Amino acid sequence: MRQVKDRGHLLTEMRNQRSADIDSMSTSAAFDVMNGEDASIAAAVADAKPQVCEAIELVVAAFRAGGRLIYVGAGTSGRLGVLDASECPPTFLSDPRMVQGFIAGGWDALRRSIEGAEDYPQDGVDLMDELDIGPDDVLFGIATGVTTPYVHGAVQRAKERGAKTVFLGCVPFEVVGDQADVSIRVLVGPEVVTGSTRLKAGTATKMVLNTVTTLSMVRIGKVYGNLMVDVNTKANAKLVDRGTRMIQNVTGVERDAARELLDRADGHVKTALVMHARAVGPADAERLLAEADGHLSRILKQEP
């Protein structure tokens, strides 16, 4: 018989007394229990602010060095890492290599649960070697229950190869530690359905990952004000409209003129805005952006 450790002492495995009778509650009462539990998540994320900010600084440094942010997780944690990575290119026009997500069990595990895949730390080690992870990269391990061998194997190997490492879990460090450079612990407490970390722990994970990638992209110039000026307007009609409206918002020109600017800039909002601000063509606008490391504010907020 396979020996399995008792994990009942982990916060993510404990029984939530507020939902102990949820199976006999009315739909309305059960909703109130779930909603009340979810309402506590933002405060738990806020408590981890110092560590989240440390992680952002590591990621920004990696991006500026031409490195990567690599998420590794299993189950819900792995899927959320892959999701966040997949959403960066359409939002920020980032190279797909910049943020990558990997899940124990491979791509099949995205669509159906392959629970046993998380038990093998060597798979995490092998992944780091396959990715040739190194000093310019950040490895971000996600394991809400903290014990996932696959993630720990990846973190250890990434450190050996010189990468910076981050670990995100929902159990106190004093109960189960990790070897990462930055350890983020978001203590959302026991789940409404005992052990189902796709609930509060999953929501907290999504919040942290959103914050890390969004603010890292802001720091490297992918956002102007709060506008996603590096959006890929060639993707669909919705984004052409968004890009056109951003140009209108910043420049004050009419919609037809904004669309003409966008077309002349080959769909690049930042290029169009520099063209308008400096009265230059696309090539000169792109040169100015390169000299400003992609930061639109360095061009638009200074005199020509």
Crossing angle (nearest 10°) for helices 255-264 and 269-278:
110
Active site residue 160: no
Name 183's bridge partners. Answer: 167
Give the count of beta carbons closer than 10 Å to the beta carbon of residue 284: 14
Q: Which of these is catalytic: 118, 254, 260, 286?
A: 118
Burial of 34 (0-12, 13-18, 19+ CB in 10 A): middle
Active site residue 291: no
User: In one letter, which amino acid is 137?
Assistant: D
Q: Do 104 and 78 form a contact (C-beta atoms < 8 A)?
A: yes
Give the count of beta carbons closer than 10 Å to the beta carbon of residue 143: 32
Q: Which of these is catalytic: 13, 54, 57, 87?
A: 87
* Per-position DSSP letters for 168-203, written without gaps between them: EESS-TTTS----SEEEE----S-SSTT-TTTHHHH
Active site residues: 87, 118
